[in-house]
Chain A
Amino acid sequence: MVEHQTFQIANSIGKNKVLCQCSDTLTYVDMHTKIGKIIKGNWLIIGVLIFAAVLRLWKLGSIPPGLTPDEASLGYNTYSILKTGRDEHGQLLPIIFEFFGDHKPGLYVYLAVPFVAFLGLSEFTVRLPSAIAGVVAVVLIYLIVQQLFQNNKLENGKYLEKQGSVPQEKMAVLTAAMLAISPWHIHFSRGVWEANVSLTLTLAGILLFLKAFKKPSFGYFSLILFALTFLVYQGAMFSTPIIIFALVISYNKSFRQRFSLRKVFLFRFFVFGVLIMFLVGLIIFSNNIGKTMHLNNFYEILRQWFAFFSARFLFFEGDWQDQIYSIPNHGMMLLADLLLLPLGLYVLIKNKLSKEKLFIILWLILAPLPAILLSDQNWTVRSYNTVIPLVLISSFGFLYLLNVISKIKRPVLLVTYYLVLFTFMTGASIYFLDAYFIHLPKHNAKYWFYGYKQVVEAVGSIQNNYDKVVFQQSDDQPYIYFLFYQKYDPKKFQEQSDFVRSEEGGVSYVQKLDNIHFQKFSWPYATGEKRTLLVGSPVAVSADYSKNSYNLVSEIKYPDNFMTAFRLVETK
């Protein structure tokens, strides 16, 4: 206790010193105390938001390079809905869309409609809803943290400032900033990831849930928002119930104290329903649809869990199973989090467990479950919600560091430590930004299906010169790129389209679009016809084309100007 007091005194002395040194500015601020405070308080978060927006919107159309088939498909369906009110299969305003034979909820399509309507169909407009959702998430986390720690509940020890100051404001801005720069969140905000929109809806749901303690009617809106996640993202049937479960466990007591029996009952009824959905979803996924997926056994779950919380995944390599989810030579978190996360966990564990902290811990432990229980590859998407507790905990760590430093008495040391901390954070941020904005477009181009845009343009300009264009068929679903980049008339496509299911069932393909035939062929491929254009990967259309009576039309290169993405050849 004595030690604690001396710390406080020392702390206040240290502050006075700092204050004295800049007394000139202080008088100026004193004159405008009120206005100054308001502007200052809000400018910080506004600055963070601008930062978040820049990181999510800058070059959104070209970084990541190319479009995944899923992105192109969502984009074209948006276009189709906009022009005809029907999706590519001719369904009138569906809720569940069929993408390549896979049935998925499609709220994202409707979110993209206004952007495509006003700005035209492009990579940028398709990705825009997710990017905007990412910026909104930053606002929401700011409000949530304010709400969570409004009574300084986090603070039971020495590491946070005392009552009267505003640690929750500091914490809120800090968390918002950490989310704004979070590699995982930026990656999933820049691209058509339904999971990202679902996360933003979940955050809004959590915010309203917390607000409901003051204004009960928010509770209903909260539930509506949680329910909306199911319409936007298939995996939400795992991830959203987990969040609700964590909320209920943590806030059960306060809930009972605050609300009437009837409301508690209704709420439980809803929660119960959601949990049943979770179980049903799990059973469906593990038995019927997912023949490639099954529930993991105990050892496998442990192994996956460790892999999820490994430094390799979080800091050094990211998702090493599937490159599309990761940033080259970078983990899902900032390198600085290697220090901040353990510190944050220490802060979290050290003091008494409040319901807010319990919520964060439960969220952290349970959110990876959808990725860990099932044995397929979509790890990083399924566990995407974990980014929030991770960022929160990092921010605790950062705040703790700031507080430790602010207690240092000697000004020289103080400045040095702040400088070190500043360099440390900017260094880690620059390393990430470099990896994302400079390296990813080149290094990961092929995982992002780079080359389809270029090949569609190349083929489109000359396809009428040929009787027949043979395009290599694959799981990349090349037809969708032709539809997307040629802005193919949806009505025309709906009339002529014939989808063919693959032999194993599941995936469906389109085999013909005007004079373009999508088909698998093995090299050397003899068409037997004149005036044919053959398009495929450099493996499918080998470099010895001239021996097999073909002439080269052009080659599409990857951004490194070295590897070939596509080769176009015509019959001699």
Chain B
Amino acid sequence: MNNELRIKKIIVILILLLAAFLRLYRLGDYPALNADEAAIGYNAYSLLETGHDEHGNSWPIHFQSFNDYKPGAYFYLVLPFIKFFGLNEWAVRIPGALIGIATVYVVYLLVNEIFAKQKKQLFVANPRMLALTASFFLAISPWHIHFSRGGWEVNLSTFFITIGVLLFLRSVRKVLSIKYLVLSILFFILSLYTYHAARIIAPLLVFGLSMIHRNQIKQNLKRFVIAGLIGTILLIPLGLDLMKGTVFSRAAGVGLFADTGTIERINEQRYEHQGTIWTNSRILHNKLVNYGLLFLNNWTKHYHGEFLFLSGDDIQRNKVPEMGQMYLFDIIFILAGLVAIAKKFGAWKAVLLWLIVAPVAAALTFQSPHALRAQNMVIPLVIISGYGLISLSSYLHKIFPDKKLLGLIFTIFILAISWNFSQYLLAYWQHMPKKYPFSSQYGVKELVEYVEVVGDNYERIVVTDRYDQPYILFLFYLKYPPERFQANHELSVADEYGFSTVRKFDKFEFRSIDFENEKQDNPNGLIIGTDAEIPNETHVVKEIYGTNGYKYFQIVAN
């Protein structure tokens, strides 16, 4: 037994090493830094240097950034890394990657926790086996790796939520131990400070978990109330910040109600009632019903096989080409897992609750399915998939006593997993930057390096704004002094999605290039445009290629 335990420990370490390799290898330079990551890095840098963010707000809870008011926890996590390693891509990303590795371990603990008391609820004798499989599946999960490799706030919030669930269940197991309960609430609240979507998911999870374990809670109501009070106090700063109103603009910009098609549909439906036996149809065709259905539709889209296993998210930044969010082999394992769960339901309530709740926040926005906002869904999915693999194996073991046949089946399993895994590696490392050249801000680093060298010779530098938010990447790569930037810039008026940008700082100006005009207006200026913006016969002094070999910029000296 002791020996077996040691082997399992070694396996855990191997899984963590695999997770670490997949998340840390070439973390600094692949994929290219995107504008949101640059914003995280530069704001943290600005805080360190001046005590204010890029726009001069002092130690904010939400960072104003592009007027999208990003929740601040990840910024503060990055702070020490920038302090010690300087302002660079690696420092912005390493916390996310480390958190990703930690999540793999937390899932191992979580599965052990769920089934610690309820081994009989499993088709396998030992819950550790399931814990190992689930954490292995998370370690190689495309969905999880993708958001671990980069400064993605969502990954941190998923980590907090996972550890929150773990501690909640541990507290329940230990007769509602106050220590674990308070810790659990603390982590859930941290997730609220980390990411918008967690503000819907975490409360729903806490509520659901409390309902599942309502009997224990009733018996120890006092402790539960104390934990709740502590939680409420911790929420006050967030609540005050949210009440300022500006933060809500972001939620309104991406929320369901931003989709005006629904209103048009209601009007159409009411119109179609005219001249029929039922003319006043407000009771059936109203905002509640139609937005309710839209929400349900969005929610179910996250369980659609096409999204999960075949094509993944529509947004290129959130996915790897030629793949779903999960592996193809997960189809079989998740199905088997669900069947096995249906047979012995008991301990699975928490996991199923999570599976149901996970996409709710994403479904409240108008882009669904959304891999980023629903990332925490990957945790219940890998647990179920792992369970599928294990229960399928034990089932096959039962019906095929013949060792050879069983061996063959396992070989097929292993082949399928490794085949899908290598497909993924190829897609992530080879195809992604070529197929989705705009999924990240490739080329800007190379551009800034060039501009730094020649910039002094020019009075003004005009840069195209075609690729997301170029100003922040310039600030980031130039390590532009924050106090100078804070004093001399202004944010543009928000666009239809609620985003603003900076059009001008120092000698840099950012706008879409109308070449003839720019040429007249900027004598002794440097004009940097896309391939399409610069006319063909112009004398181009330098072409900038991204690391993926795509030509992003053409530079014209005027």
Please report A residues at the B interface, Cβ cutoff 8 Å: 299, 302-303, 305-307, 309-312, 315-316, 329, 335, 338, 345-346, 349-350, 430-431, 434, 438-439, 442-443, 560
Contact = CB atoms under 8 A, between A and B. Distances in A.
Contact of B342 (A299, A315, A350): A350
Nearest to B306: A306
Contacts of A299: 310
B293 A306 contact: no
Given A306-B310, A346-B342, A438 B278 contact: yes
13 contacts: A299-B310, A306-B310, A310-B305, A310-B306, A312-B301, A315-B296, A315-B300, A338-B300, A346-B342, A350-B345, A438-B276, A438-B278, A439-B272
Interface residues of B, number: 27
A383 B480 CA distance: 63
B466 interface: no
A316 B304 contact: no
B415 interface: no
A303 B328 CA distance: 12
Nearest to A317: B297
A350 B343 contact: yes
B304 A310 contact: yes
Contact of B305 (A306, A315, A431, A439): A306
Given A335-B293, A349-B342, A350-B345, 18 more contacts: A302-B331, A303-B310, A306-B304, A306-B306, A309-B305, A310-B300, A310-B304, A311-B301, A311-B303, A312-B300, A312-B304, A316-B293, A316-B296, A316-B297, A350-B343, A438-B281, A442-B272, A560-B272
A439 B269 contact: yes
Contacts of A338: 296, 300
A311 B310 contact: no
Contacts of B284: 430-431, 434
B273 interface: yes
B8 interface: no
A430 B289 CA distance: 13
A349 B306 contact: no
Nearest to B338: A349
Contacts of B272: 438-439, 442-443, 560
B305 A349 contact: no
A234 B254 CA distance: 48
Contact residues of B: prevailing secondary structure? helix
B83 interface: no
Nearest to A298: B328
A346 B341 CA distance: 9
A58 to B, nearest CB: 12
B274 to A, nearest CB: 9
Contact residues of A: prevailing secondary structure? helix
A541 B212 CA distance: 67
Top 9 nearest A-B pairs (CB, nearest first) are A306-B305, A311-B300, A349-B342, A316-B297, A442-B272, A306-B306, A310-B304, A350-B342, A346-B342
Interface of B: 265, 268-269, 271-273, 276, 278, 281, 284, 289, 293, 296-297, 300-301, 303-306, 309-310, 331, 339, 342-343, 345
A146 to B, nearest CB: 26
A138 B191 CA distance: 53
A453 to B, nearest CB: 19
Nearest to B289: A431
B343 A349 contact: yes
Contacts of A431: 284, 289
Contacts of B273: 438
A439 B339 CA distance: 39
A329 B269 contact: yes
B278 A302 contact: no
A187 B305 CA distance: 27
B305 A312 contact: no
A403 B273 CA distance: 38
A452 B177 CA distance: 75
Contacts of B345: 350
A442 B269 CA distance: 10
Contacts of B309: 302, 306
A350 B339 CA distance: 8
A347 to B, nearest CB: 9
A349 B340 CA distance: 9
B269 A302 contact: no
Nearest to A351: B343
A345 B343 CA distance: 11
A299 B322 CA distance: 11
Contacts of B343: 349-350
B295 to A, nearest CB: 11
A307 B268 CA distance: 27
B529 to A, nearest CB: 40
B506 to A, nearest CB: 50
Contacts of B304: 306, 310-312
Contacts of B276: 438
Contacts of A335: 293
Nearest to B322: A299
Contacts of A315: 296-297, 300
A302 B328 CA distance: 10
B303 A434 contact: no
A305 B305 contact: yes
Contacts of A434: 278, 281, 284
Nearest to B272: A442
Contacts of B306: 303, 306-307, 310
Q: Select the residue from B293, B303, B309 with max chain A CB neighbours within 10 A.
A: B293
Contacts of B297: 311-312, 315-316
Nearest to A330: B293
Nearest to A308: B305
Nearest to B285: A434
B352 to A, nearest CB: 11
B339 A349 contact: yes
Contacts of A438: 272-273, 276, 278, 281
Contacts of A309: 305
Contacts of B271: 560
A447 to B, nearest CB: 15
A316 B294 CA distance: 9
A345 B432 CA distance: 39
A303 B269 CA distance: 32
A1 to B, nearest CB: 14
A311 to B, nearest CB: 3
A560 B293 CA distance: 25
Nearest to B294: A316
B301 to A, nearest CB: 7
A442 B268 CA distance: 11
Contacts of A350: 342-343, 345
A318 to B, nearest CB: 12
A442 B296 CA distance: 26
Q: Select the residue from B265, B269, B289, B310 with max chain A CB neighbours within 10 A.
A: B269
B310 to A, nearest CB: 6
A443 B268 CA distance: 9
Nearest to A314: B300
A234 to B, nearest CB: 29
Contacts of B331: 302
B281 to A, nearest CB: 7
Contacts of B342: 345-346, 349-350
Nearest to B300: A311
Contacts of A312: 297, 300-301, 304
Contacts of A305: 305
